[in-house]
Structure 1
């Protein structure tokens, strides 16, 4: 049997990271078994569909490195791949269900159904369809239609049956049909419901394995009944563990710590890191290795290592993994990603900035970056000539010895014709010899004076990248500011 799986998002919003995890597991399973991964757009929720959402989803999957054998943009022998383009197919299958007596017209109004729900709530019962339309006579149906009521169509649940299936993740699962209520398969506006549409599409597209989130487990018995009523072979089902937040509650699309895929892309995360991180949400490769390429994941992935327990979306682990991938990136490639962020934030290179200069500055912060956008928050001092001294810098520069170190460095820098990291080291070496200071007392005052803070990347490279004019001007202003503060304090 050739494996065929699908991911079928609704274009009602952004591509959410939890949905991508489901798509990824489908993709990895298909590729591992030399099968086909199919994309289908379930766009029958007409009121909630968002213009441009489908394109955003397809672009997001391409960015992550997914390839699909069939889909709305590529076509295929089982198309079309948008549900709204398949409406005649659903009508044909509804007629088949009606012919075998598996469905019946329901004339209940929304107000009547809502009243039933409220009554059930008052009685402490689970709200279920009452079945009032299931046994209407032909005359009763005709009378309701004469009132102007257009029916929806409900599936007639057979009583007293046990629906049993082997879930490839959860093991044996069973449901009693007596606990299920008759459900709508076709709305009164001729739009199919999910429970009906998904069965028709999966059956006609020859889907062999339905791999989806745990929240769909309760949908499975209804869908199995539809498969059987239509005479289609049922696929194998696999229900993936939920993705949880840090409080071990179901991950929400509105969780501030989890962004839609397009946001991670805009921020300059590496898609390889996102894929690697998501693959480990509920699946284990075995052993201690966690950094795996897409090809590695394809080779190792199978459903037997998928956990039944919920998987926590650990934002710290995502940042660590993203940072690890950034560190491995050639600095020139990372610089290209940073350029995109500079343009995004409207930053321009300083007068002394060149392409090589930017590569050097990016190199200073590569170890601290999880995404290209991080550079904007880290490297501000290299793009703005004006600088503010923070509290720690002011405290350091308040020391007379520190001011002496800065003053001497300024003198040596002004007269130096060479502006390289090595030339800067020689200046510090001379100051150490002249003033007898070393370590933090030697380097920290200069760092504070030229960058405004006592923390930062390699000092000699920092000084070189800031440029001689900026270093001299900043050092002079820092000394003047500290001297003025000292003078004000003594008055």
Structure 2
């Protein structure tokens, strides 16, 4: 058996880091088992689903390093769902109901007042053909419910019916179908809710493992019953904890919070996102891994906590900084071209500045400082200006190397008596225009004697 997983986003907005967590859990699981990864767009909501969002999701996944083996759209598989509907109807497992939302809410309150579980009482199942015809003649259109196998003989006498499975993430799980309402599979307008198309697709695509957020745990009992009603063996299931901000705020495609597109545009590296998305809420420390292959070595779905996976969005910048500090020039070279960084100084420049970058685009202003001029705005006192003129007169002759700055500072100290911040800060301001940054010993050879002298006040 080939392990086959799927990631099934709705193309109704840009995916965020929480969605990426699910995608990465599935991708890494498939990688560890040499399996297949299916990207399935749940686009049955025609009003909100857009191709531009689907295209963006594909781009975001590729950018993260996820390349699906197969891609499908539910909107193109309506015939398969119609066949499943007919099969369920023939088996007496799909029945029409005519209540309005207001009527359903009233019935729920009545059941609660009678100390009964607030679940649907299967009133639609009791309608005769004549009653159904009358309801439809009055303009009512049915929604269709799946009859759960939570009774012995009489479907109106529901009993405890446990559905159990060994969850890939959470271990042994059980859902009591007797405590659930028969789920609506088809709306009044004939469109499908999530449950039926998802199960039909999982059957047809040979999905062996469904790994998703733990907000679907209860759904799993219903879906297992539906798999069996359609004559198929259910896949294995795994439910990971949901990613939230440190304050407990949920992430949403609709609000665009922490979208992958937005994080990319903000200069966050894909492996910073992947490391945060996968390792948060597990027994592993959240450290930046350099590749998905390395991340796969740490990935163990069973090591995921049952409590919510809280993270601080600001920590993404810390992970990003750590990744850049260790990034070799070869990995950054082509990307640096977009910021004008090229030529014989490019590698030495990268090694000099990478330890001071939060994001790779931050290299661009440093390249201008090194190759053009310091940033404007640095204010020097008359005393510091006079000190700098003396210091620049003491510049060693070329050739310069990594030890030039130390030799220069030694001569300045002997000549002026300055030391510490009083010596280094004016030099830094004169050379860069900034009061902090890369080691001046690394920048000086990049400037060269001529470039350095050009900055003499």
Return the match for 2:362 from 374, 380, 388.
374
Residues 388 and 434 of structure 1, relative CA distance in 2, 3 Å threshold: same
Residues 105 and 448 of structure 1, relative CA distance in 2, 3 Å threshold: same
Aligned partners of 1:107 and 1:133 also within 8 Å: yes
Aligned partners of 1:268 and 1:337 also within 8 Å: no
Matched residue, 1:52 = 52
Number of aligned pairs?
448
Residues 433-483 of structure 1, C-alpha deviations (whole Å, 9 max, x = no match): 33233343332222233433432222244455567787566543xxxxxxx
Return the match for 1:447 from 428, 435, 438.
428
Matched residue, 1:67 = 67
CA distance in 2, matches of 1:267, 1:419: 37
| SS in structure 1 at match of 2:145 | strand
Aligned partners of 1:160 and 1:176 also within 8 Å: no
Aligned partners of 1:276 and 1:293 also within 8 Å: no
Matched residue, 2:154 = none
| SS in structure 1 at match of 2:29 | helix
CA distance in 2, matches of 1:254, 1:120: 35
TM-score (norm 1): 0.78
What is the 5 A alignment of 1:228-243? 228-243=228-243
Aligned partners of 1:387 and 1:474 also within 8 Å: no
| SS in structure 2 at match of 1:206 | coil
Measured after TM superposition, the shift of residue 105 of structure 1 is 1.2
What is the 5 A alignment of 1:305-454? 305-315=303-313, 317-340=315-338, 342=339, 355-376=343-364, 381-382=369-370, 385=373, 387-389=375-377, 394=379, 397-398=380-381, 400=383, 402-411=384-393, 427-454=408-435
| SS in structure 1 at match of 2:227 | helix
Residues 2 and 365 of structure 1, relative CA distance in 2, 3 Å threshold: same
| SS in structure 2 at match of 1:237 | strand
Residues 297-346 of structure 1, C-alpha deviations (whole Å, 9 max, x = no match): 44554433333233222445533433332222222532432343x3xxxx
CA distance in 1, matches of 2:374, 2:115: 68
Residues 274 and 324 of structure 1, relative CA distance in 2, 3 Å threshold: same
Q: Is the aligned partner of 1:145 residue 2:136? A: yes
| SS in structure 1 at match of 2:423 | helix
Q: Is the aligned partner of 1:456 residue 2:437? A: yes
| SS in structure 1 at match of 2:95 | strand
| SS in structure 2 at match of 1:211 | strand
Residues 17-56 of structure 1, C-alpha deviations (whole Å, 9 max, x = no match): 1111112111222222232222211111222213311111
CA distance in 2, matches of 1:256, 1:419: 54
| SS in structure 2 at match of 1:456 | coil
| SS in structure 1 at match of 2:86 | helix
Residues 274 and 468 of structure 1, relative CA distance in 2, 3 Å threshold: same
TM-score (norm 2): 0.84
What is the 5 A alignment of 1:196-215? 196-215=196-215
| SS in structure 2 at match of 1:437 | coil
Shifted more, 310-319 versus 439-448: the winner is 310-319
Shifted more, 254-263 versus 203-212: the winner is 254-263
| SS in structure 1 at match of 2:212 | strand
Measured after TM superposition, the shift of residue 284 of structure 1 is 4.2
CA distance in 1, matches of 2:126, 2:159: 18
Residues 98-118 of structure 1, C-alpha deviations (whole Å, 9 max, x = no match): 111111112234554466678
Measured after TM superposition, the shift of residue 169 of structure 1 is 2.6
Aligned partners of 1:161 and 1:178 also within 8 Å: yes
Matched residue, 1:181 = 181
Residues 198-219 of structure 1, C-alpha deviations (whole Å, 9 max, x = no match): 1111122222221111011121
Residues 282 and 24 of structure 1, relative CA distance in 2, 3 Å threshold: same
Which structure has more RCO (C-alpha within 8 Å, separation ≥ 6)?
2
Residues 118 and 469 of structure 1, relative CA distance in 2, 3 Å threshold: farther
Residues 450 and 322 of structure 1, relative CA distance in 2, 3 Å threshold: closer
Residues 296 and 469 of structure 1, relative CA distance in 2, 3 Å threshold: closer
Q: Is the aligned partner of 1:155 residue 2:146? A: yes
Measured after TM superposition, the shift of residue 427 of structure 1 is 4.7
Matched residue, 1:105 = 96
| SS in structure 2 at match of 1:10 | coil
CA distance in 2, matches of 1:88, 1:256: 34
**Structure 1 gaps, min length 5:** 73-80, 343-348, 477-491
Aligned partners of 2:170 and 2:302 also within 8 Å: no
Q: Is the aligned partner of 1:38 residue 2:73? A: no
CA distance in 2, matches of 1:214, 1:359: 46
Measured after TM superposition, the shift of residue 86 of structure 1 is 0.9
**Structure 2 gaps, min length 5:** 151-157
Aligned partners of 1:319 and 1:370 also within 8 Å: yes
Aligned partners of 1:32 and 1:300 also within 8 Å: no
What is the 5 A alignment of 1:266-305? 266-284=265-283, 291=289, 293-299=291-297, 301-305=299-303
Aligned partners of 1:405 and 1:431 also within 8 Å: no
| SS in structure 2 at match of 1:262 | helix
Residues 337-391 of structure 1, C-alpha deviations (whole Å, 9 max, x = no match): 2343x3xxxxxx6xxx86334544433320122431333576675577574446x
Aligned partners of 2:374 and 2:431 also within 8 Å: no
